[in-house]
Amino acid sequence: MDILYRILLYIHVSSAILSVGPFFVLIPIVNKLKSAQPGIQQAYIGIFRTSVRLVKHAGHVLVGSGVLLIVNSHWAWTTSWIVATLAVMGGSVFFLARAFTPVLKKFDEPGADQHFLIRKLSRSVWIYLFLLMLMLWFMVAKPVLW
C-alpha cells in the first residue's frame, strides 16, 4: 500500500469520525433542551448549529477522500457496497439539509412549540445516526449485495 493511499485512508477515516461523532454528543443535549431555560436553550441550539456545520464540512472531506480512494484502488464504482453507500449518502444529504437547520431556526420564532421541535430534533438525530452507521457498515464490512 503506497503512502498516498495510506494518507487518503487516514483522512477518510478521520472525516468519518468527524461526521458521526457530533451526533452522539447531541443525544444528551436534546434531552437537556427539554428542561433548559431560554438562555441555556439558546446555547444548546448553538451547539446543534455548530455540530451540523462541522458534520457538513467533514462530509465534504469524507466524500472527496472516498472518491480518491476508489480511484486509487481496485474497487469499481459498480461494486454493490459502493453503490449502496452512494444511494444512502444521496438520501442522507437531503435529510441533513431538511432535518436540522430549518427546525433550529424555528426555535427563534415567537410562540414556537418547543416540545414539538425538541421531539423532531431527537427523531432526526436518531434517523441520521442510523443512516451514518449504515454507510459506515457498508464501508467497513464491504458486503456483496448483488
Residue range 44-66, pLDDT digits in tens:
999 989 998 998 899 999 999 99
Would you state the pLDDT for residue 76? 93
**Structural domain includes residue 45:** yes
CA dist 115 and 102 (Å) reads 16
**Structural domain includes residue 100:** yes
Would you state the pLDDT for residue 1? 65
Contact 55, 23 (CB under 8 A): yes
**Structural domain includes residue 26:** yes
- CA torsion through residues 94, 95, 101, 107, sign: positive
State the DSSP string of 12-73.
Answer: HHHHHHHHHHHHHHHHHHHHHHTT--HHHHHHHHHHHHHHHHHHHHHHHHHHHHHHHHHHTS
Q: What is the span of the domain harbouring residue 76?
A: 3-141
Q: At 133, which helix (H) or strand (E)?
A: helix 114-141
**Structural domain includes residue 82:** yes
CA dist 140 and 136 (Å) reads 6
Would you state the pLDDT for residue 113? 87
**Structural domain includes residue 52:** yes
What digits encode the pLDDT tens for the residues 65-119? 999 999 999 999 999 999 999 999 998 888 888 888 888 888 888 888 888 999 9
Contact 49, 104 (CB under 8 A): yes
**Structural domain includes residue 11:** yes
Instruction: Look at the chain and report how many structural domains it folds into.
Output: 1
**Structural domain includes residue 38:** yes
**Structural domain includes residue 146:** no
Query: Between residues 49 and 38, which one has the greater pLDDT?
Result: 49
Contact 118, 136 (CB under 8 A): no
pTM of the model: 0.86
